[in-house]
Homo-oligomer: A and B are copies of this chain.
Amino acid sequence: MTRLLLAAVLAGGLATALPAAAQFKKPEDAIKYRQSAMTLIAHHFGGLAAMAQGKVPYDAKAATFNADIVATLAHLPFTAFGEGTDMDLHTKAKEAIWKDPAKFKAAQDKLFAAVTKLDAAAKVGTVDALKPAVGATGEACKGCHDDFRSK
């Protein structure tokens, strides 16, 4: 189900299929991987948010680039929450991730839908198209962080 869904979401993008779960030698590798993906997502989404909020001038090419990166990378962290990756001190991941996988999956799906729309909105080429898509994506980020990530 997850594979099918991800494949469908990604069909219009970079990848033809997302492996169901990435392979990691150690739990620490998975944690570093998902945190790295989140760092990049935060950076490129931050660029879009700054444009949407008028903090930097709107730049259609930069918007498309950032949105494409975000839409691609949004899928990666979720391949790295396998068993045993909740044990490290250097993770803010909450137990709810493993205790309520259906809710965690729903939060991911919300994000995937939002970033697909974000990618499309960036391609429109106007800041007015970008604004609501940035808002919806930011809500999806925040909702998941509120429930599944410690402060």
> Which residues of A approach B to under 8 Å, CB–CB?
13-19, 22-24, 29, 32-33, 35-37, 39-40, 43, 47, 56, 59, 61-62, 64-65, 68-69, 72-73, 76
Contact = CB atoms under 8 A, between A and B. Distances in A.
A51 to B, nearest CB: 11
- As for how many copies of this chain the complex holds, the number is 2
Contacts of A59: 19
A40 B36 contact: yes
B15 A65 contact: yes
Contacts of A35: 36
A69 B59 CA distance: 24
A123 B24 CA distance: 24
A15 B47 contact: no
Contacts of A22: 43, 47
A145 to B, nearest CB: 18
Highest count of chain B CB atoms <10 Å: which of A17, A47, A65: A65
Nearest to A37: B40
A13 B37 CA distance: 19
A135 B94 CA distance: 40
